[in-house]
Amino acid sequence: MPQLILASTSRYRHELLSRLRLPFDAMAPDVDETALPGEAPAALAERLALAKARDVAARFPGAIVIGSDQVADLAGEAIGKPGTHAAAAVQLRRMSGREVVFQTAVAVVAPGLAAIERAEVRVRVRELSDAAIEAYLRADQPYDCAGSAKVESLGIALLDAVESDDPTALVGLPLIRTCALLRRAGLEPLA
């Protein structure tokens, strides 16, 4: 079996890929994640996922490399990782009572293959009081998550609904699409 590499240092993506029970290594890609002028959130996610996979694949010829990226889209505006408590509170206030679309792209680069898939997750955020935002942020500290919420944790209490055909996409790695891409690269997760 060729070496499988996750082009990410995200603990969330690492945990998700571990669910497939395939041996893999994780490597940090060297990619500038700055959006291009006028770049739509979906295009940004796709470009970065492929760039991450290509960067690591260039260092490990013969490997199967998975790259992924997620961008939260609030009315066409990319919402990134907040980094701080104050920035997360601002994001959640802006998202309160609105729909946010999470664009999650996954790419697989392997000998003879460079393919990408994108999963779209629609999230309806309930009306949030400042007290609810503060309580949530103190409990979950989602400062490294696009959109300032961990749906796999207490962040689920912030939402009215989640719509997706690939449930792990919201956490950062759409596993249904990842499995399909791995099969295209010649790696069957159930073998």
Supply the residues annotated as catalytic: 69
Using CA atoms, how far apart are residues 57 and 52, in angstroms rounded to an integer? 9
Name 68's bridge partners: 106
Listed in order, strand segments (DSSP E) in 53-150 are 64-74, 77-79, 99-110, 113-125
Using CA atoms, how far apart are residues 48 and 34, in angstroms rounded to an integer? 9
Using CA of residue 71, residue 72, residue 74, residue 75, what is the dihedral sign?
A: positive
Using CA atoms, how far apart are residues 26 and 69, in angstroms rounded to an integer? 15
Listed in sequence order, the residues at least 6 apart from 172 whose beta carbon sits closer than 8 Å to its beta carbon are 10, 12, 13, 16, 68, 70, 104
Residue 10 burial (CB count, 10 A):
20
